[in-house]
């Protein structure tokens, strides 16, 4: 049996207020509703469709985060994933993309016979989109990113990559890592049977020591990037009302020109 590993992440709900802490400008996780990142649902759906297509496949979801990230993993399990692994350790707090990718790369050694690694193209909190490329380098496997379609055969993976310059068909031998966009599929909803089954599935929790990662190589102190300042977004202001006295069209055009919108 081969394994498809899906990388998932718990993030602040985009509908809740998201902000950074005042001391070290890391994500304030205590004052925002935490959910499974929406783009990860597309990644899970891609893996489940491959499993349903046949080939004796197993879907493993993997995450790095605080203990509360088990809720995100449980959501992925309720959608149909078979197993879940969470790397959680106090030393991981404040890790950047490099530290997170290094941790994920080592955690992947816990899974045998990996056929494919699937991720979302970018998380909604960091929006870096760097982890798939970093994992490609760390594990020395091909990466196909920003795919809107995904096809897998016995020996290769392929898909359509969307860029500002157009759409390209790309392919690579397996094993490989791919990232999918929200256009790749329509994620399924968790049904009652899946939710109940997820409660019985075990989430394997491991620490940095369990996967051979030195604490000094991750966390805020080891991060290669840093946030030095942050300011809340400005409050919305009232719009300008134009009274049409026969010249409303001209006033509208003048306004658009003043804002360099036309």
pLDDT digits (tens, 9 = 90+) for 149-201: 999 999 999 999 988 899 999 999 999 999 999 999 999 999 999 999 999 99
Q: Cβ of 42: how many Cβ atoms within 10 Å? A: 24
Cα of first residue to Cα of last residue in the chain, in angstroms, is: 58
Mean pLDDT of the chain: 91
Q: What is the pLDDT of residues 44-77, one digit of tens each?
A: 999 999 999 988 999 999 999 999 999 999 999 9
pLDDT of 15 above 70: no
Q: What is the band of 236 on the pLDDT scale with cuts at 50, 70, 90? A: confident
pLDDT at 229: 80
Q: What is the mean pLDDT of residues 4-23?
A: 82
Asked if 82 and 201 count as a contact pair (C-beta separation under 8 A), the reply is: yes
Give the bridge partners for 61, in sequence order: 6, 84
- All domains in the chain, ordered by first residue: 2-222 (3.40.50.620)
31, 19 Cβ separation under 8 angstroms: yes
124-131: average pLDDT: 85
Residue 164 CA to residue 176 CA, distance in Å, equals: 24
Average pLDDT rounded to a whole number, residues 4-14: 90
Question: Which residue, 91, 89, 111, 92, is CA-closest to 100?
Answer: 92
CA dist., res. 150 & res. 124, Å (int) = 22
The residue-averaged pLDDT of 227-250 equals: 80
pLDDT per residue as tens digits for the range 87-124: 999 999 989 999 999 999 999 999 999 999 999 999 88
């Amino acid at each position: 049996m081969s394994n498809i590993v899906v990388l998932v992440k718990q993030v602040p709900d985009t509908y809740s207020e998201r902000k950074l802490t005042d001391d070290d400008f890391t994500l304030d996780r205590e004052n925002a509703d935490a959910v499974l990142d929406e783009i990860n649902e597309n990644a899970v759906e891609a893996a489940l469709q491959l499993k349903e297509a046949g080939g004796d496949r197993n879907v493993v979801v993997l995450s790095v985060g605080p203990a509360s990230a088990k809720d995100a993993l449980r959501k992925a399990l309720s959608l149909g994933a078979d197993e879940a692994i969470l790397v959680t350790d106090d030393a991981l707090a404040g890790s950047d993309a490099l530290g997170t990718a290094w941790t994920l790369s080592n955690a992947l050694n816990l899974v045998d016979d990996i056929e494919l690694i699937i991720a979302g193209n970018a998380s909604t909190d960091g929006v870096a989109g760097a982890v798939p490329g970093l994992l490609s380098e760390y594990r020395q496997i091909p990466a196909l990113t920003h795919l809107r379609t995904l096809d897998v055969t016995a020996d290769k993976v392929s898909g359509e990559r969307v860029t500002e310059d157009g759409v390209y068909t790309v392919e690579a031998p397996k094993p490989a890592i791919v990232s999918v966009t929200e256009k790749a599929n329509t994620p399924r909803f968790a049904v009652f049977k899946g939710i109940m089954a997820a409660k019985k599935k075990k989430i394997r929790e491991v620490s940095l020591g369990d996967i051979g990662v030195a604490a000094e190589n991750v966390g805020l102190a080891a991060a290669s990037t840093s946030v030095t300042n942050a300011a809340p977004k400005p409050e919305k202001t009232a719009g300008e009302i134009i009274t049409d006295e026969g010249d409303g069209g001209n006033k509208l055009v003048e306004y658009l020109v003043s804002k360099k919108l036309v």
